[in-house]
Amino acid sequence: MSLEDLVGTRIPPRVVTVERGPVVDFSSAVKDERSEYRSLAAARSAGFDRIPTPPTFAFVAPNKGSFVDDQPEVPSDAVALVELIAALRDGREGMILHGAEDFTYHGPVCVGDTFDVTGYVESAQTKPGTPEQPGMSVLVVRTDFQRAGTDEVAVTTRSTFLFRPARSK
């Protein structure tokens, strides 16, 4: 199977809840100490009805808020992200890199929110190389954070992963 055949492949869907503790820890880890991420009173003073989250929190939210009791059945054709990245490597020597990350915001992500998170391979290609340096392989995974029980997508992320093959001997 060629890399291009992965286009359209779904990753396992998840139900993700945004909890208060992870938002505080994450904002400290990215050195953003603003009080609105820590205090409901401060968030309300700034015009929010709940505690907002830092702009890049959505990227980690599935790691911090996927609870086993809430998870949907995994479709049989879904492929885990780590397996997609392994397919990018395709057994070759070289390095996997996170090349780029792109967030599109349609609505707020706040403490207490629950999202149906779905994703799929939006593009996959191997770039032309040279005899000395084989071309990079590039995989873009699109993920949508849809507010549970609604058709409102709050955030879309596009994650670009690169595989840079080792130089030819």
Partner 1 sequence: MTESPAPPYVDDLEVGDRGPSRSLVLTRTDLVRYAGASGDFNPMHHDETMALAAGMPSVFGHGMLSAGFLAGAVTDFVGLGTLTRFRVRFTKQAWPDRTLTTEVEVRALDPDSDGANVELDCRVVDDQGSVILTGHAAARLPRRTEKAAT
CA distance 97 to 49: 38
Identify the residue among 2, 4, 5, 30 touching partner 1 (CB under 8 A): 30
Q: Does 100 bind partner 1 (CB under 8 A)?
A: yes
Quick one: 2 or 35, whose CB is closer to partner 1?
35
Q: Which of residues 106-145 bind partner 1 (CB under 8 A)?
A: 108
Is residue 70 a contact point for partner 1 (CB under 8 A)?
no
CB of 138 to partner 1, least distance (A): 12
Alpha carbon distance, N-terminus to C-terminus of the chain: 26
> Which of the ranges 4-12, 72-80, 93-101, 144-152 carries the binding residues for partner 1, by CB under 8 A?
93-101
Our CB check for partner 1 shows the closer of 2 and 41 to be 41
26 belongs to the binding site for partner 1 (CB under 8 A): yes
What distance in Å separates the CA atoms of residue 33 and residue 27, rounded to the nearest whole number?
A: 6
Contacts of 91 (CB under 8 A, 6+ apart): none
Task: Tell me if 102 sits within 8 A of 157, measured CB to CB.
Answer: yes
Q: Is residue 54 a contact partner of residue 27, using CB atoms and an 8 Å limit?
A: yes
Q: Does 42 bind partner 1 (CB under 8 A)?
A: yes
Neighbours of 88 (CB within 10 A): 21
Which tokens hold the place of 95?
């390095």
Chain positions contacting partner 1, by CB under 8 A = 22, 25-26, 28-36, 38-39, 42, 45-48, 52, 54-56, 59-60, 63-64, 97-105, 108, 158
